[in-house]
């Protein structure tokens, strides 16, 4: 009895001591929510966030997160025999806003599906994936590009929409096969000089195209490069740091996870050097069960970047989760994306 009493006192002192330690090292963050990858993330209304394969745009003090607004029933598409085509109704593109990257307000579905017209590309029976938005300083328009496809992924096209505000109703302008080539997984990248690029998996997803857009960001200029030829890279995410360009991407295994890879170049249309797998820690070799979608430069924090991944749940796609992790930069253009169960924005950036 006495022994256990003494033990309890020691344990209590240790607990108090460790609490004290914690408080001093993260005083400002005691009420700040954690970013807990793979957990259910709720918006400020208490609903599960539905913004898959998306990206975040920072504009005038607010982060806008755009993503696929997935329907709530997942089914296997028997019309696609050669791969495991699980899919769901395409519900358009959702938008959430936040000033701190943890409290997200649902702004609505900003690119609406066309529920009436079965021939519309925006009909829920088709595929709408990987939406990305950038702001055009000249036209003052928010420009959205996304992967638009038929129910069996045979169309392989890119759609474009515009809006005067980040959270308004985007007007759909139609789709194309940019540079007369197939376009599936995609991202946009806006450079410091205002030029923008459409980066997309082409040639049956075997080769990644980087295509310079017109000044209004609505069309390809016709200047493009073919990269990682026959290497089947998907899910591209592009960012720039200290004059170097980085592409993070996945392999090509449908909804199943695979190994991530990154490459570095001196210019968007230049030669890319493959650097290997940037991930480390638990399940790093399969991207922590995730697939890249975007890399966000943290506003006002030089050198701070966050990598965003989707953790797909192929048999219940709406319940796919999110993995967000900070990027650490090392010597010789190397990066490390280390697994963390949970972390706080103010403590890392």
Query: Could you say whether residue 106 binds ligand GAL (CB under 6 A)?
Result: no
Distance (Å, rounded) from C-alpha 195 to C-alpha 213?
7
Q: What is the dihedral of CA 304, 162, 176, 316, to 10 degrees?
A: 60
Residues in 39-68 that interact with ligand GAL by CB under 6 A: 53
Q: Which residues contact 112 (CB under 8 A, 6 or more apart)?
A: 92, 122, 169
Binding segment toward ligand GAL, per CB under 6 A, in 31-39, 134-142, 251-259, 318-326: 251-259
Structure tokens at 229: 């030829």
- Report which DSSP code applies to 221: E
Query: Could you say whether residue 185 binds ligand GAL (CB under 6 A)?
Result: yes
Candidates 109, 212, 218, 254; binder of ligand GAL (CB under 6 A) is 254
| Between 233 and 241, CB nearer to ligand GAL | 233
Q: Which residue has the tokens 């490390």?
A: 336
- Whether the Cβ atoms of residue 148 and residue 155 lie closer than 8 Å to each other: yes
Query: Could you say whether residue 129 binds ligand GAL (CB under 6 A)?
Result: yes
Query: Could you say whether residue 235 binds ligand GAL (CB under 6 A)?
Result: yes
Query: Could you say whether residue 294 binds ligand GAL (CB under 6 A)?
Result: no
Buried b (16+ CB within 10 A) or exposed e, 266-303: eebeeebeebeebbeeeebebbbbbbbbbbbbbeeeee
Least distance CB 185 / ligand GAL (angstroms): 5
Binding segment toward ligand GAL, per CB under 6 A, in 133-141, 166-174, 250-258, 267-275: 250-258
- Whether the Cβ atoms of residue 211 and residue 179 lie closer than 8 Å to each other: yes
Binding segment toward ligand GAL, per CB under 6 A, in 249-257, 265-273, 279-287, 325-333: 249-257
Nearest to 305 by CA among 58, 49, 28: 58
Least distance CB 42 / ligand GAL (angstroms): 24
Cα dihedral across residues 150, 152, 155, 156: positive or negative: positive
| Between 95 and 235, CB nearer to ligand GAL | 235
Candidates 255, 329, 339, 343; binder of ligand GAL (CB under 6 A) is 255
Q: Which helix (H) or strand (E) holds 2?
A: helix 2-25
| Between 127 and 163, CB nearer to ligand GAL | 127
| Between 54 and 178, CB nearer to ligand GAL | 54
Nearest to 65 by CA among 343, 332, 324: 324
Query: Could you say whether residue 234 binds ligand GAL (CB under 6 A)?
Result: yes
Q: Which residue minimizes CB distance to ligand GAL?
A: 254
Strands 279-280 and 335-338: parallel
Strands 171-176 and 186-190: unpaired
Query: Could you say whether residue 286 binds ligand GAL (CB under 6 A)?
Result: no
Least distance CB 146 / ligand GAL (angstroms): 11
Residues at the interface with ligand GAL (CB under 6 A): 53, 129-130, 185, 234-235, 252, 254-255, 291
């Amino acid at each position: 009895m006495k022994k256990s009493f003494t033990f309890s006192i020691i344990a209590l002192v240790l607990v108090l001591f460790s609490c004290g330690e914690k408080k001093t090292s993260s005083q400002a963050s005691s009420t700040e929510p954690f970013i807990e990858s793979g957990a259910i993330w709720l918006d400020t209304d208490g609903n599960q966030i539905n913004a898959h394969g998306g990206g975040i745009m920072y504009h005038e003090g607010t982060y806008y997160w755009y993503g696929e607004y997935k329907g709530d029933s997942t089914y296997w598409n028997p019309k696609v025999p050669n791969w495991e085509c699980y899919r769901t109704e395409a519900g358009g593109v959702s938008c959430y806003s936040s000033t701190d990257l943890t409290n997200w307000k649902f702004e609505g579905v900003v690119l609406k599906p066309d529920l009436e017209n079965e021939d519309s590309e925006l009909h829920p029976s088709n595929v709408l994936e990987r939406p990305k938005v950038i702001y055009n300083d000249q036209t003052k328009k928010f420009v959205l590009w996304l992967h638009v496809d038929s129910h069996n992924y045979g169309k392989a096209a890119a759609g474009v929409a515009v809006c005067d505000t980040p959270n308004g109703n985007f007007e759909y302008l139609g789709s194309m096969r940019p540079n007369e080539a197939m376009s599936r997984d995609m991202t946009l990248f806006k450079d410091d000089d205002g030029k923008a690029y459409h980066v997309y998996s082409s040639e049956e997803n075997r080769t990644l195209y980087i295509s310079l857009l017109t000044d209004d960001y609505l069309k390809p200029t016709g200047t493009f490069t073919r990269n990682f030829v026959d290497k089947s890279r998907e899910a591209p995410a592009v960012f720039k740091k200290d004059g170097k360009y980085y592409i993070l991407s996945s392999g090509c295994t449908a909804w199943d996870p695979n190994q991530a890879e990154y490459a570095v170049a001196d210019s968007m249309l230049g030669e890319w050097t493959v650097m290997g797998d940037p991930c480390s820690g638990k399940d790093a070799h399969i991207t922590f069960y995730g697939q890249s979608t975007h890399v966000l430069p943290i506003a006002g924090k030089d050198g701070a970047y966050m990598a965003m991944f989707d953790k797909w749940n192929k048999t219940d796609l709406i319940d796919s989760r999110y993995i967000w992790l900070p990027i650490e930069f090392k010597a010789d253009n190397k990066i490390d994306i280390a697994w963390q169960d949970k972390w706080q924005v103010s403590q890392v950036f």
